[in-house]
Structure 1
Amino acid sequence: MGATGVGTAARPRPTRRRELTWWLALSALLLAWTTLASDFRVTQVQTRLVEGTYTLDATVDYGFSPEALEALANGVPLTILMQLQVRRADAWIWASSVTDLQLRYAIRHKPLSETYEVYRLPGTTGRTFVTREAAIAALGEIKGLQLVDQNRLEPGVAYEVQFKVSLDIEALPLPLRPTAYLSGAWKLASRWTKWPLTH
């Protein structure tokens, strides 16, 4: 009878394990959904050597969520964090980068003139556009960005550019940040992409 009692007490364990497994799977799906909710994509990167300095041209597709676009329309500037690294193509993940850049660009709506402005921080002025679509397209066009001096690279060694863009939640107005941290609609970022550093 004692053995039967032990067996009875042990039966719920597989059920609890199944429930735990189900919740873990659901959490993983929700996390994946949150990640996939973002739609920033680095679609093209080209590098070239100009007077001893490697420069970069790139195209980024910014698929802002409806919530972010609504905030923009209501006068909230959106700040983009751009991260770029130049690394040896064969470097281990913990190896230091040759260069590590963090740049910030912003887009804002100016209600009085019904225009949009794109500018690089810490500046406060930039190019003005009549439509939101034109401003977002301009935000995604990077031209002639200086990456690294040629003399910092070893001859005959292959290097690559690693590139990521994301919406900087920390730059949002303070009252909006708690919602942004909890909502997948604000977790907007591209994946890290790798591109060869070429002449």
Structure 2
Amino acid sequence: MTPGRATGLRLSLALGLLLVLISSAMAKDPFRVEQIQTRLDGGVYYLNASIDYRFSDEALEALDNGVPLTIVTHIQVRRVNAWLWEDSLLDLQLRHAIRYKPLSARYEVYRIPGDHGRGFETREAAIRALGAFTDQPLLNQDELEPEQEYEVQIQVALDIEELPLPLRPQAYLTRAWKLSSKWSKWPLTP
């Protein structure tokens, strides 16, 4: 083998390995927190966030067949560089669901608890709405120490426990149902 061919082969192998690593990294993180903004209004911090949901084909098929999918959004406000055992100033879990209503041929996004939500003509529009958080109250300004820096941390995940009982064993054993994001950290700024 000539030196030029050996170099080309090594380069091809390295490029192939890089593509495999990138695709496996993307597969591990099907949900992604893309943007977080906080604002201070009347002494209260509010959160606006954008989350990109990339459901697996199996989850989308279940949704299209009338199975509601429940998403848990875990929000924390912590001091920057806090020790692991330090309490969070805020530790909140919000639950939202998306479901298809076959009689009306519409998708619905709603908060749990509650049964009234917003209807959408398409699945894509419903998933976009599911990922939009607007004016979620976090905490009061007086709960923060002025000399400290704080951050908002968010993680989202599909709640397998809310799936119908016959689907749960498959969901526990199949990667296609292990849908979540990594923890995203953003500075808490007014």
TM-score after normalising by structure 2:
0.86
Aligned to 1:112: 103
Aligned to 2:169: 178
2:59 aligned with 1:55, yes or no?
no
Counterparts in 2 of 1:1-199, with a 5 A limit? 36-199=27-190
Q: CA contact under 8 A between 1:38 and 1:185: conserved in structure 2? A: no
* Equivalent residue pairs, number: 169
Which structure 2 segments of 5+ residues have no match?
1-23
Q: CA contact under 8 A between 2:29 and 2:182: conserved in structure 1? A: no
What displacement does 1:157 show? 1.1
Q: Which amino acid aligns with 2:173?
A: L
TM-score after normalising by structure 1:
0.82
What displacement does 1:35 show? 8.7
Q: CA contact under 8 A between 1:34 and 1:184: conserved in structure 2? A: no
The sequence identity of aligned pairs, in percent, is: 62
Aligned to 2:6: none
Q: Which amino acid aligns with 2:63?
A: L
d(CA) in 2 for partners of 1:125 and 1:37? 32
The structure whose Rg is larger is: 1
What displacement does 1:90 show? 2.3
4+ residue runs of structure 1 moved beyond 6 angstroms? Answer: none
What displacement does 1:44 show? 0.2
d(CA) in 2 for partners of 1:125 and 1:34? 36
Superposition RMSD on alpha carbons, in Å?
A: 1.7
What displacement does 1:37 show? 4.0
Which structure 1 segments of 5+ residues have no match?
1-32
What displacement does 1:155 show? 1.0
Q: Which amino acid aligns with 1:76?
A: V
